[in-house]
Chain A
Amino acid sequence: MIRGGGRWRGWAALLGAMALVAVGVALAEPAWAQTAAPAGREYGDFPIVGGRIVVWVSAQIHLMFAAFVLGVPMFAVVAEAIGMFGGEKRYDRLAKEFTRLLLIAYSATAIWGAILSFALVIIYPRFWTHMMEIFEISVWFYLGLFFLESFTLYLYYYGWERWSTGRAKMAHWGMGILLNVWGTAVMFIADSWLSYMMSPAEGVTADTPPGDIGVWSAIVNPTWMPINIHRIIANVVFGGAIVGAYAAFRFLNASTDEERAHYDWMGYVGNIIAIGALIILPFAGYYLGREIYEYNQQMGITMMGGFMSWLWIIQAFLIGVLFLAGNYYLWVGMQRIPGAERFAPYTKWMLLVLVLGVIVWATPHTMIASRSELAAMGGSHHPFLGVLGVMSAKNTAVNLMILTTFLSFLLYRRANKTPVVPWAKTGTRVQGMVFLVSSAVVLFYGIYGYFVPAVQRIGFSVYQVLAVLITIVVVVAIDFAMGRGAESRGAIRWGQMPPRSQYALFVLAVTFTWLMGLMGFARSGIRQHWHIWEVMRDTSEWAATPALGFAAQVITACVLIFLGLIGFIFWLGGLVEKPVLADVRADAGGAVALAGANADPARGQ
Chain B
Amino acid sequence: MLLTNLKILAVILGTVTLYTVLASAIPQIESEVPQELTLGADFSAEELVAAGEDLYQGAGGCVACHGLGTRAPNLLTDHAGTGLIGARCAARETGKDCKTYLHEALVQPLAYVVEGFGPIMPDMSRTLSDAQIWALVAYLESLGGTVDVTADDVGAGADPAGEAADAPNGAAAAAGGGAIAGGSTDATEIWAAAGCGACHQLGGEGGAVGPALDGLGATRDRAYIRRAILDPAADLAPGFEALGGMMPAAFGQSLSAAQLEALVDLLAEEG
Contact = CB atoms under 8 A, between A and B. Distances in A.
A and B interact physically: yes
B63 to A, nearest CB: 5
Contacts of B31: 302, 306-307, 525, 528-529, 544-545
Interface of B: 1, 4-5, 7-8, 11-12, 15-17, 19-20, 22-24, 26-34, 57, 61, 63-65, 67-71, 74, 76-77, 118, 120-122, 126-127, 168-170, 221-223
How many interface residues does chain A have, given as a range?
A: 35 or more
Given A314-B23, A370-B67, A525-B31, A534 B169 contact: yes
A563 B64 CA distance: 36
22 contacts: A206-B223, A207-B168, A208-B221, A249-B8, A297-B121, A301-B64, A302-B31, A310-B27, A314-B23, A314-B26, A318-B19, A366-B68, A370-B67, A380-B68, A499-B4, A534-B169, A546-B30, A547-B29, A548-B23, A548-B28, A549-B26, A556-B16
Contacts of A168: none
Contact of B70 (A253, A297, A380): A380
Nearest to B120: A297
Given A207-B221, A314-B23, A545-B31, A253 B16 contact: no
Contacts of B77: 371, 374-375
B61 A302 contact: yes
A253 B68 CA distance: 54
B223 A205 contact: yes
Contacts of B223: 205-207
A529 B33 contact: yes
Given A314-B26, A529-B33, A503 B70 contact: no
A543 interface: yes
Given A301-B120, A370-B63, A544-B30, A551 B126 contact: no
A549 B222 contact: no
A550 B29 CA distance: 10
A510 B120 CA distance: 38
Contacts of A207: 168, 221-223
Interface in A549-588: 549-553, 555-556, 559-560, 563
B107 to A, nearest CB: 15
A8 interface: no
A313 interface: yes
A514 interface: yes
Contacts of A510: 11-12, 15-16
A531 to B, nearest CB: 12
A372 to B, nearest CB: 10
A552 B20 contact: yes
A160 interface: no
A313 B26 contact: yes
Contacts of B7: 503
Interface string A521-541: 000010011000010011000
Nearest to B69: A380
- Residue of B5, B20, B57, B69 with highest tally of chain A CB at under 10 A: B20
A26 B27 CA distance: 40
Contacts of A253: 1, 4-5
A369 B67 contact: yes
A574 to B, nearest CB: 13
Contact of A314 (B12, B16, B19): B19
B8 A305 contact: no
A318 B32 CA distance: 27
Given A206-B170, A556-B19, A503 B33 contact: no
B233 to A, nearest CB: 20
B63 A369 contact: yes
A507 interface: yes
- Residue of B22, B23, B26, B57 with highest tally of chain A CB at under 10 A: B23
Given A375-B77, A503-B7, A370 B33 contact: no
B64 A305 contact: yes
Contacts of B69: 380
A331 B222 CA distance: 64
Contacts of A546: 30
A434 B60 CA distance: 50
Contacts of B29: 307, 310, 368, 547-548
Contact of A552 (B23, B67, B118, B222): B23
Contacts of B127: 534
Nearest to A506: B11
Contacts of B221: 205, 207-208
